[in-house]
A and B are shown apart, each in its own frame.
Chain A
Amino acid sequence: MSEISKLAELRKLLFEMERSIGLQNLSAAERDIYYAASDLAEVRRDVKTTRLQAHKLVIGISRPTFFRALKSLVNKGYLRQNAAAGRGFYHVESSR
């Protein structure tokens, strides 16, 4: 595991703590999609929607919930649509 992913894992742990004590406003679906996107972004900077849907954290989420949560994550600034990379590509905001 690289240095960056260790820091990402630590942030994931504390983000989870923040969520469970009620300081974070992400739903369970939004959280899982965000974690999955963070995982995939370690391999490739821009994450494709189809790869995100195939991720094991996301696979159990229904299609309508997935797209609703994805839209909400973009609105909240956790993910950003990357028009340059092509349709259906998202960038995980590094500050998260």
Chain B
Amino acid sequence: MTSDTGDSDLIKETVIISIAYVLAFAVTFKLLLPVQNIFFPKFPSYASLLFLPHGVRVLAAWLLGWRSVIALFPGVFFSFWYVAGMGVFEPSRLFAISVAVFIPAATFHTMRRLGVDLFPAAGKTPCWHCIVLTSITISALTASMTNIAITRTLNDLFAYLIGDFFGMFFLMTILMFFFRSLRQSEE
């Protein structure tokens, strides 16, 4: 692969992944969160029970490895900017953005070094529940490290963990039914 091809692949990956991240973010906060606030008014209003962007982060890191750090960055940055405005440039938020884009790929690579290689490869059957379990680790690490920069209560952390787990699972379920219906419509 030439470096031109590599660069163009990285640009395409970045556009696709960042758009997917922003879409997942928009669906979570514009569609799911208002519904959640109706049914679970006591749950922290800022923490989604179905945080779909976590699924995008995990699947991007699983597919792209370290390249996901670059591919996710514009989408994650835009989402933080949407919430915090110019406050996105505060050191604590820049740190939280770095954690959000770096931890998923770092977790998959660390697991590979520890002998659990989940990365896709030809001739390998993917282990979807291993990826869901890894997403819990990624969520715990992200929440703990973000907590260093942005102080949260234990309840907040717990709410984020629940949202990340169900968001990951829900996103995979949506994609599973999407590909299934695509297959069936072409039969």
Interfacial residues, chain A to chain B (CB-CB below 8 A): 1-3, 5-6, 9-18, 20, 23, 31-32, 35-36, 39, 42, 55-57, 77, 95-96
Contacts and interface: CB of A to CB of B under 8 A. Distances in A.
30 contacts: A3-B9, A3-B12, A6-B63, A6-B64, A9-B63, A9-B120, A9-B126, A10-B63, A10-B175, A12-B125, A13-B62, A13-B120, A13-B131, A14-B128, A14-B172, A14-B176, A16-B125, A16-B126, A16-B127, A16-B128, A17-B172, A20-B128, A20-B129, A35-B123, A36-B123, A39-B123, A56-B123, A57-B124, A95-B182, A95-B187
A96 B183 contact: yes
A39 B126 CA distance: 13
A95 B184 CA distance: 9
B126 A13 contact: yes
B186 interface: yes
B122 A39 contact: yes
Contacts of B12: 3
Given A23-B176, A95-B186, 20 more contacts: A2-B9, A3-B9, A5-B122, A6-B64, A6-B120, A9-B63, A9-B126, A12-B120, A12-B125, A12-B126, A13-B126, A14-B128, A15-B179, A16-B128, A18-B180, A23-B180, A31-B125, A56-B123, A57-B125, A77-B187
B125 A35 contact: yes
Contacts of B129: 20
Contact of A32 (B125, B175, B180): B125
B105 interface: no
A89 B187 CA distance: 21
Contacts of B59: 10
B120 A17 contact: no
A90 B186 CA distance: 19
A96 B186 CA distance: 9
Nearest to B124: A57
Interface string B163-187: 0000000001001100110110011
Contacts of A9: 63, 120, 126
B125 A17 contact: no
Contact of B183 (A5, A16, A56, A95): A95
Interface-central residue, A16, A36, A42, by most chain B CB under 10 Å: A16
Given A14-B175, A18-B180, A77-B187, A1 B125 contact: no
B126 A42 contact: no
B58 to A, nearest CB: 11
**Closest 9 CB pairs between A and B?**
A95-B186, A9-B120, A13-B126, A17-B128, A14-B176, A39-B122, A56-B123, A6-B63, A16-B128
